[in-house]
């Protein structure tokens, strides 16, 4: 797993998994449809990505689908790092 995906994964685990939650999260684990990240959590996740990577993710691109896995989130970051 590359550094960016690992950083996103680490953030999700530290922020949104309860201490007694023993689920294993990988690059393709469903975060939103899997109930790990909800709409409230998306606010802080979007802010984290924007601050850490110096990007602005437009509201229309911050959809539940785009935030549903670490791989998709990393792809979103990559897209706006380039633009």
Tell me which residues touch another protein (CB under 8 A): 39-40, 42-44, 46-47, 57-65
Q: How far is the CB of 40 from another protein (least distance, A)?
A: 6
Nearer to another protein, 25 or 67 (CB): 67
| Neighbouring residues of 81: CB distance < 8 A, sequence distance ≥ 6 | 53, 55
Which of residues 2 and 60 has its CB atom nearest to another protein in the complex? Answer: 60
CA-CA distance, 28 to 81, in Å (whole number)?
Answer: 21
Quote the CA–CA distance of 17 and 21 in Å, as a whole number: 6
Closest approach of another protein to the CB of residue 2, in Å: 25
Least gap, CB of 49 to another protein (angstroms): 11
Helices within the chain (DSSP H only): 3-16, 39-53, 70-82
Q: Which is nearer to another protein, 6 or 63 (CB)?
A: 63
């Amino acid at each position: 797993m590359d550094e960016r995906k690992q950083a996103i994964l680490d953030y999700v685990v530290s922020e949104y998994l309860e201490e007694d939650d023993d689920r294993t999260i990988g690059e393709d684990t469903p975060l939103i449809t899997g109930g790990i990240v909800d709409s409230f959590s998306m606010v802080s996740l979007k802010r984290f990505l924007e601050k850490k990577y110096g990007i602005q993710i437009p509201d229309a691109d911050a959809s539940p689908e785009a935030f549903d896995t670490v791989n998709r989130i990393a792809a979103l970051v990559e897209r706006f790092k380039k633009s």
